[in-house]
A and B are shown apart, each in its own frame.
Chain A
Amino acid sequence: MNGLGLHQRLERNAGLLIFGILFVSAIGGLVQVLPSIFQESLSQPAANTRPYGALELVGRDIYIREGCGTCHSQQVRPLLAEVKRYGPYSRAGESVYDRPFLWGSKRTGPDLHRIGGRYTDTWHRVHLLDPRSVVNNSIMPAYPWLAERAANADGDIQLRLKVLRRLGHPYTDADIESAPAKLEGLTEIDAVIAYLQQLGAGLGAEQ
């Protein structure tokens, strides 16, 4: 058999086998993943989407650090019930400044993509410090340590903004210059709340 003959060559030559595996497994990525990386419409910010401010960025990085994304998605699907429950469905253009994306894969808790403005800052503060005091059957962990740590405890906010600027986020010199001042006197919980309160704002004009 011809096919078997060809395969015997692969089987007898380790180099050919390695190349064969690499080639065959790369096709999918090249055809499917590569075009979407460079598809312009996926990297165009939505109307109201802007880069995160210093405080919001710190909040987002804390959200990542605490693994909030393991239980909360940030992706409203275009289904009637989801739009009813959470708000307008998510657009690609809203996450162009998300490194990495935080769409999530599991909703042990509710979706958060449209959480911004739904509750007051005070509600969030109480809820983060003691979830069961506001939602009686909640199984969310409490985050008391967020209130104890300064928002700029890592001291690298300017560096973070510079790195993001190199990756193409439009921060001005003034943004970077003034960043530490914006964190002055605030704690991590303020940063997380600032991040949560702007979630979903990117859609404003379209709706």
Chain B
Amino acid sequence: MNTTATKSNLYYHDRVVTVLVAWSIVWSVLGMAVGLYVAAELVWPQLDFGYPWLSYGRLRPLHTNVVVFGFAVSALMATAFYSVQRTSHVPLFAPALAWFCCIAWQLAIVAGGLSLLAGINASKEYAELEWPFDIAITIVWVCFAIVFFGTIAKRKIQPIYVSNWFYGGLIIVIAMLHIVNSLAMPVTLTKSYSLFAGAPDAIVQWWYGHNAVGFLLTGGFLGMMYYFLPKQAGRPIWSYRLSIVAFWAFTYSYIWAGPHHLHFNAIPDWVQSLGMVMSLILLAPSWATMINGIMTVSGAHAKLKTDPALKFIVLSLAFYGLATFEGPMMAIKSVNIVSHFTDWTIGHVHSGALGWNAMITFGTFYFLVPKLAGRDLYSVKLANIHFWLALAGTMLYILAMWGAGVSQGLLWLSLDEIGELNFSFKDIMGSMAPYYGLRVVAGVLFLSGTLLLAFNLFKTLQGQKVVRVVPPPVAAMEAA
């Protein structure tokens, strides 16, 4: 086979990986900067200077979309393309299509981001982009699936490695969720009405919203962990059996948990209760995977280096543990009474997004980029400073939002002896200013860390050609 292969098929396709990594970093800086800006607008509302496109309501969807679809998805595509080649011992299937995914996706984010600024907004959370973008996303996603599963189909190693199950789950489930939730009837090119209305729409939306978090921000990144953590630690995953059980339990139970976003809302009680119970069950597979990860690094005695990449990945597991515990806890109705509609939810999302997603991605990039560039990281010292900035920023963010959220939740519900409200909404809202101020500080810390990463990795890649790696020559296909 090797003799007949064209030149480009001799090497792993890592240039497309590098470009995706670069875009992911661009989006992380931009997305976090927009996040910081909206955080500042909640302290100084005049910051929109009277421009519609700088208005909070338009920038917040931009923040979430750029971070989730720009930063996270680009990082997932990059790492999926990188690891699927190495776990299959073959170069990418249809590399041209991989390039199409890479470029089309970035164009969709640019155009989609601009459309959000223009106020073209379908208003479903994490699915704000209007129908033409929904179609574009679907097309790119199908191409992503073809490249990914095509590579697996021509693999030279029989068993499909566990990281690929998670990436596969990401591709399949997100496709299902995205298509169903985006069903709408177009009015014009920039306006459509959802096929679902009212309560059913709410249930469909949170089935989507919760599982976009589940299969993209949790599952997809677990795929990243399952490949890069053992690579970093230099030893195989701690328990293969645990990874199987956790994967299927995760895939099965996550999908049920969405209605905990609608506790005490106008949807049937059985749907709420089922959502709560399944959220609690979800803790088991989430933590099983975390334990598998922690035990994998913990046993890595000899090979361990003080390398910033591993630091980030290990710390990300700590925040993963927090977020996957906090989530089910907040799904308990008697906690949710207080936490619902408050900044506690925002804090929870960010303990996941900053502490888990961003940190594991940073760790992976600190490992990956030097490999792609074929030289050492430009500055380990900068990476270590980044580590502390990221940790401090995340902790400060979480603390500020815990304080804000719990105060809001309790004060809103607070009644005096004769059953009258103790506090006006206006006063409670006014008392949030210091917390919102703290959050701005947290954002500055975290963003400056991300800027250090961008600079560091840019310097690492600067002037280098992407290293060409040849798949292992011996076909490892087992004689079954």
The answer to whether A binds B is yes
Interface centre among B41, B42, B200, by most chain A C-beta atoms within 10 angstroms, is B200
Separation in Å of the B202 CB from the closest CB of chain A?
5
Interface centre among B185, B196, B259, B342, by most chain A C-beta atoms within 10 angstroms, is B196
Question: Is the CB–CB distance between A36 and B200 below 8 Å?
Answer: yes
Interface string of A87-108 (1 = CB under 8 A from B): 0011110111111111111111
Separation in Å of the A203 CB from the closest CB of chain B?
12
Question: Is the CB–CB distance between B420 and A25 below 8 Å?
Answer: no
Separation in Å of the A88 CB from the closest CB of chain B?
12
Cβ-based interface call for B160 (8 A): yes
Question: Is the CB–CB distance between A28 and B252 below 8 Å?
Answer: yes
Cβ-based interface call for A135 (8 A): yes
**With contacts A27-B255, A92-B198, A105-B125 known, is A70 near B340, CB below 8 A?**
no
In the docked arrangement, what's the CA distance between A164 and B187, Å?
9
Q: Which of A4-12, A118-126, A178-186, A189-197 contacts B (4 or more CB under 8 A)?
A: A4-12
Of A21, A29, A42, which is within 8 A of B172 by CB? Answer: A21
Separation in Å of the A9 CB from the closest CB of chain B?
11
Question: Is the CB–CB distance between B196 and A67 below 8 Å?
Answer: no
Question: Is the CB–CB distance between B252 and A70 below 8 Å?
Answer: no
Question: Is the CB–CB distance between B185 and A139 below 8 Å?
Answer: no
Question: Is the CB–CB distance between B198 and A97 below 8 Å?
Answer: yes
Number of interface residues of A (CB under 8 A): 84
Separation in Å of the B337 CB from the closest CB of chain A?
7
Separation in Å of the B156 CB from the closest CB of chain A?
13
Please give, as numbers and ranges, the residues of chain A lying within 8 Å of B185 by CB-CB distance.
Answer: 163, 166-167
Q: Which of B51-59, B318-326, B369-377, B453-461 contacts A (4 or more CB under 8 A)?
A: B51-59
Please give, as numbers and ranges, the residues of chain A lying within 8 Å of B259 by CB-CB distance.
Answer: 32
Please give, as numbers and ranges, the residues of chain A lying within 8 Å of B124 by CB-CB distance.
Answer: 100
Mark out the residues of chain A between 65 and 94 whose CB falls within 8 Å of any chain B CB in the assembled complex: 65-71, 73, 75, 77-82, 84-85, 89-92, 94
Cβ-based interface call for B412 (8 A): yes
Mark out the residues of chain A between 1 and 47 whose CB falls within 8 Å of any chain B CB in the assembled complex: 4, 7-8, 11-12, 14, 17-18, 21-22, 24-29, 32-33, 36-37, 39, 42-43
In the docked arrangement, what's the CA distance between A202 and B340, Å?
24
Interface centre among A28, A85, A145, by most chain B C-beta atoms within 10 angstroms, is A28
Question: Is the CB–CB distance between B421 and A81 below 8 Å?
Answer: yes
Question: Is the CB–CB distance between B425 and A85 below 8 Å?
Answer: yes
Cβ-based interface call for A170 (8 A): no
Please give, as numbers and ranges, the residues of chain A lying within 8 Å of B196 by CB-CB distance.
Answer: 37, 99-100
In the docked arrangement, what's the CA distance between A25 and B250, Å?
9
Interface string of A119-153 (1 = CB under 8 A from B): 00000000000011001011111111100000000
Separation in Å of the A119 CB from the closest CB of chain B?
14
Please give, as numbers and ranges, the residues of chain A lying within 8 Å of B61 by CB-CB distance.
Answer: 67, 70
B166, closest chain A residue (CB): A21
Cβ-based interface call for A173 (8 A): no
In the docked arrangement, what's the CA distance between A16 and B172, Å?
13
Q: Is the interface of B mostly helix, strand, loop or mixed?
A: helix
Cβ-based interface call for B203 (8 A): yes
In the docked arrangement, what's the CA distance between A22 and B141, Å?
16
Of A95, A103, A138, which is within 8 A of B197 by CB? Answer: A95
Cβ-based interface call for A159 (8 A): yes
Cβ-based interface call for B153 (8 A): yes
Please give, as numbers and ranges, the residues of chain A lying within 8 Å of B268 by CB-CB distance.
Answer: 36, 39, 42
Separation in Å of the B359 CB from the closest CB of chain A?
25
Please give, as numbers and ranges, the residues of chain A lying within 8 Å of B57 by CB-CB distance.
Answer: 66-71, 141
**With contacts A37-B203, A42-B268 known, is A108 near B429, CB below 8 A?**
yes
In the docked arrangement, what's the CA distance between A71 and B38, Å?
12
In the docked arrangement, what's the CA distance between A110 and B427, Å?
12
In the docked arrangement, what's the CA distance between A113 and B195, Å?
22
Separation in Å of the B82 CB from the closest CB of chain A?
19
Please give, as numbers and ranges, the residues of chain B lying within 8 Å of A156 by CB-CB distance.
Answer: 187-188, 191
Interface string of B258-284 (1 = CB under 8 A from A): 110110111110010011001000000
Q: Which of B11-19, B115-123, B287-295, B300-308 contacts A (4 or more CB under 8 A)?
A: B115-123
**With contacts A103-B265, A140-B45, A141-B57 known, is A84 near B429, CB below 8 A?**
no
Cβ-based interface call for B450 (8 A): no
Please give, as numbers and ranges, the residues of chain A lying within 8 Å of B172 by CB-CB distance.
Answer: 18, 21-22, 25
Separation in Å of the A137 CB from the closest CB of chain B?
4
**With contacts A64-B123, A65-B119 known, is A96 near B197, CB below 8 A?**
yes
In the docked arrangement, what's the CA distance between A81 and B121, Å?
33
Cβ-based interface call for B152 (8 A): yes
In the docked arrangement, what's the CA distance between A106 and B346, Å?
9
Cβ-based interface call for B341 (8 A): yes
Question: Is the CB–CB distance between B266 and A75 below 8 Å?
Answer: yes
Cβ-based interface call for B159 (8 A): yes
Question: Is the CB–CB distance between A37 and B266 below 8 Å?
Answer: no
Question: Is the CB–CB distance between B341 and A163 below 8 Å?
Answer: no
Question: Is the CB–CB distance between A4 and B241 below 8 Å?
Answer: yes
Question: Is the CB–CB distance between A101 and B176 below 8 Å?
Answer: no
Please give, as numbers and ranges, the residues of chain A lying within 8 Å of B168 by CB-CB distance.
Answer: 17-18, 21
Cβ-based interface call for A61 (8 A): yes
**With contacts A21-B172, A42-B267, A141-B48 known, is A27 near B198, CB below 8 A?**
no
**Can you pick out 13 interface pairs between chain A and chain B where the beta carbons lie within 8 Å of each other?**
A17-B160, A17-B168, A24-B252, A26-B176, A28-B253, A32-B271, A67-B60, A81-B421, A141-B41, A141-B48, A145-B52, A160-B187, A163-B193
Interface residues of A (CB under 8 A from B): 4, 7-8, 11-12, 14, 17-18, 21-22, 24-29, 32-33, 36-37, 39, 42-43, 61, 64-71, 73, 75, 77-82, 84-85, 89-92, 94-111, 131-132, 135, 137-145, 154, 156, 159-160, 163-164, 166-167
Interface residues of B (CB under 8 A from A): 41-43, 45, 48, 50, 52, 55-58, 60-61, 119-125, 149, 152-153, 158-160, 165, 168-169, 172-173, 176, 180, 185-188, 191, 193-205, 207, 215, 241, 244, 248, 251-256, 258-259, 261-262, 264-268, 271, 274-275, 278, 337, 340-343, 345-346, 408, 412-415, 419-421, 425-426, 429-430, 480
| Given A92-B267, A139-B43, 9 further pairs, Cβ under 8 A | A21-B168, A24-B252, A61-B191, A103-B266, A105-B125, A106-B342, A107-B412, A137-B426, A167-B197
